[in-house]
DNA sequence: AGCCCCATGTCTAACGGTTAGCCCCGTCGC
DNA sequence: GCGACGGGGCTAACCGTTAGACATGGGGCT
């Protein structure tokens, strides 16, 4: 997944690691800060080993730092084209929380409704943060669009938490 | 993440691998079919190596199959308690799609609006599937609740796709 | 001059999730 | 006898992720 992202970024223009990282951060806006620097290099070397990338030592100008500039091989270009055409929407990963409620309840470790409440507080906090961050971005920018998606997701998750609370209070009184 | 889930399941009652898998499938309903059987054993052995689980050879009854029944160690119990108390909501992973649009557009590989359209069709399909699956589950069951979360998420994602489409058509005409 | 912090830039070890696929064994049907 | 199938268990290998190590060079402070 991240491999394809790196490939796609290099499809626009060859870059060396740090440059690539900067371009990614730029495209993601404030959410780009979560990226781990090391990840880029791990991915680049693995892609090179797989033959999807090639290295072009930068011997240009007076640049004495031996940066490795990566470019796509034909295989890499094909891979990018395939990725663009693919549908790969992430499956919702609600299972973890759901199983936490079940486990807490059935093993008598904690009150599910309390857990739901804690999570709701956290999501509300994140929602405020995301809305504030979205406000700070220029209208119609990449980052603003991405943040809008985050906000919509959080709102949906909060609505699900409401449903969880209703369900588990109902069970508590029901059984 | 999955480690904690396995631990929490074993907090309710000790089990051997296949049993655990069955209990997980049961708790997740139709979504449990996506689980990979091998994963459970990988996780169990890693947890045992970490000292969070211990093995109890089942010498019970006439059961000649040498199943390994796993039970929590005190460390394991503490780990479960910590996990229950933690807030660990998954971060929305919209970045991949977002970067796909950017890459496709900036490298001139495909039309972003077309990509959005393809994804929307897929999400609508999944939404229908999830709603149908939810209808097939008993009211107030675990599986029904989980599926409701999936539906809410998909609806939010579809709304985000609308926003993406507006944004990118706007850019196309704007630049 | 000496010093320290910070940004740039790269890399590695190690862990954890995921997958595909192999293995044994018993049972049921043909 | 034989094959299919399901229960039950396991492994190799890949990939994502993280916390750090390492090197360099410039700017500011004393």
B17 touches strand D (CB under 7 A): yes
Has residue B64 got a pLDDT over 60?
no
Contacts of A96 in chain B (CB under 8 A): 1, 4-5, 88, 90
Interface test with A, best of B9, B85, B92 (most A CBs within 10 A): B92
Q: Which two tokens stand for residue A36?
A: 């781990």
Q: Which two tokens stand for residue A143?
A: 């980052």
Beta bridge partners of B56: B69
B23 touches chain A (CB under 8 A): no
Per the CB < 8 A criterion, the answer to whether A37 and A21 are in contact is yes
Per the CB < 8 A criterion, the answer to whether A45 and A1 are in contact is no
Residue whose entry in the numeric block shows the structure tokens 């906090």: A125
Residue at minimal CA–C1' distance from C15? Answer: B46
Full pLDDT tens readout for chain A, 175 residues? 689 999 999 998 888 889 999 999 988 888 888 889 999 999 999 999 999 999 887 655 444 556 889 999 999 999 999 999 888 888 888 999 999 999 999 888 899 999 999 999 999 999 999 999 999 999 899 999 999 999 999 999 999 999 999 999 988 776 5
Rounded distance between C-alpha atoms, residue A7 and residue A47, angstroms: 8
Q: Which two tokens stand for residue B85?
A: 């108390």
B65 touches strand D (CB under 7 A): yes
A92, A107, A149 ranked by CB distance to B12: nearest: A107
Rounded, the Å distance between the CA of B149 and C1' of C20 is 30
Residues 6 or more apart whose Cβ sits within 8 Å of residue B109: A11, A80, A81, A84, B103
Rounded distance between C-alpha atoms, residue A103 and residue B47, angstroms: 18
Residues 6 or more apart whose Cβ sits within 8 Å of residue A108: none
Has residue B124 got a pLDDT over 90?
yes
Q: Which ranges of B50-141 would DSSP assign to H, the alpha helix?
A: 74-85, 95-106, 112-136
A33 touches chain B (CB under 8 A): no
Residue A58: per-residue pLDDT: 62
Residue B46: per-residue pLDDT: 93
pLDDT tens track for B3-22: 999 999 999 889 888 999 99
Beta bridge partners of B72: B53
Q: Which ranges of chain A would DSSP assign to H, the alpha helix?
A: 2-12, 17-28, 37-49, 74-85, 95-106, 112-136, 142-174
A36 touches strand D (CB under 7 A): yes
Look at residue B145 and give its three-state secondary structure: helix
Per the CB < 8 A criterion, the answer to whether B46 and B60 are in contact is no
Contacts of A28 in chain B (CB under 8 A): 95, 98-99
Task: Write out the DSSP string of A144-167.
Answer: HHHHHHHHHHHHHHHHHHHHHHHH
């Amino acid at each position: 997944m991240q491999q394809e992202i790196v490939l796609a970024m290099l499809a626009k223009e060859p870059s060396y690691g740090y440059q690539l990282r900067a371009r990614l951060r730029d495209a993601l806006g404030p959410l780009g800060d979560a990226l781990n620097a090391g990840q880029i290099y791990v991915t680049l070397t693995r892609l090179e080993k797989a033959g999807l990338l090639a290295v072009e030592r930068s011997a240009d100008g007076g640049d004495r730092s031996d940066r490795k500039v990566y470019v796509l091989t034909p295989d890499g270009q094909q891979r990018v084209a395939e990725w663009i055409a693919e549908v790969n929407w992430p499956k919702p990963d609600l299972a973890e929380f759901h199983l936490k409620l079940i486990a807490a309840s059935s093993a008598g470790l904690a009150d599910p409704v309390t857990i739901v409440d804690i999570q709701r507080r956290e999501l509300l906090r994140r929602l405020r943060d995301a809305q504030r961050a979205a406000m700070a971005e220029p209208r119609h920018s990449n980052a603003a669009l991405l943040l809008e998606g985050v906000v919509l997701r959080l709102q949906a998750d909060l609505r699900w938490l409401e449903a969880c609370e209703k369900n588990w209070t109902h069970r508590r009184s029901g059984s």
